[in-house]
């Protein structure tokens, strides 16, 4: 079975969390999810799947935006 760690901020609803997990399983098959709560990501989520990282957190997006505005 796949193993995936999901990092979310504490303000994420259970419903959204389940939706994300559902979408992931649809694509990759049955998966064992571990939920990690980290408020420093501000919002959104980060999926860790083997060595791969899929970052859709608000903090990371703001960082990219900051970089883009500086150039």
Partner 1 sequence: MSGISEFLKNRIERYRFAPISYYSGTVSRVGDGVVRVASLPERRYGELLEFENGVFGMALELTEDGVGAVLFDADETVSVGSAVRGTGTVAQMPVGDLLLGRVVDPIGRPLDGRPLEANTFWPAERSAPAIIDRRPVDTPLQTGILAIDSMIPIGRGQRELIIGDRQTGKTTIAVDAIMNQKNTGVLCVYCSIGQKASTVAGVIETLSAADAMAHTVVVSATAAASPAMQYLAPYCACTIAEFFAAQGKDVLVVYDDLSKHAVAYRTMSLLLLRPPGREAYPGDVFYLHSRLLERSACLSLEKGGGSITALPIVETMAGNISAYIPTNIISITDGQIYLESELFHADVRPAVNTGLSVSRVGRAAQYPAMRAVSGTLRIELAQYREMAVFARFGSEVDAATKTLLTRGENLINLLKQNKASPYSVFDEVFLLLAYDQNLFRTTPVRAFSDEIKRLLVFADTACPAVKERINGTGTMTEEDWSVLIDVLKRFEASA
Instruction: State whether residue 3 is helix, strand or coil.
Output: strand
User: Between the CA of residue 11 and those of 21, 40, 41, 42, 62, what are the distances in Å?
Assistant: 17, 12, 11, 9, 18
Closer to partner 1 at the Cβ: 10 or 71? 71
Minimum separation from the CB atom of position 50 to partner 1 (A): 8
Which residues contribute to the site for partner 1 (CB under 8 A)?
48, 50-56, 60-61, 64-65, 68-69, 71
> For residues 25 and 55, which CB has a smaller minimum distance to partner 1 in the complex?
55
Is the CB of residue 39 less than 8 Å from the CB of residue 66? no
Distance in Å, CB of 59 to partner 1, minimum: 11
């Amino acid at each position: 079975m796949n193993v995936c760690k999901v990092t979310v901020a504490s303000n994420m609803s259970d419903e959204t969390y389940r939706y994300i997990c559902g979408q992931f399983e649809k694509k990759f098959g049955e998966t064992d999810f571990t939920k990690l709560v980290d408020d420093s990501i501000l919002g959104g989520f980060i999926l860790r799947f083997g060595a791969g990282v899929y970052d859709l957190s608000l903090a990371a997006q703001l960082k990219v935006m900051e970089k883009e505005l500086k150039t």
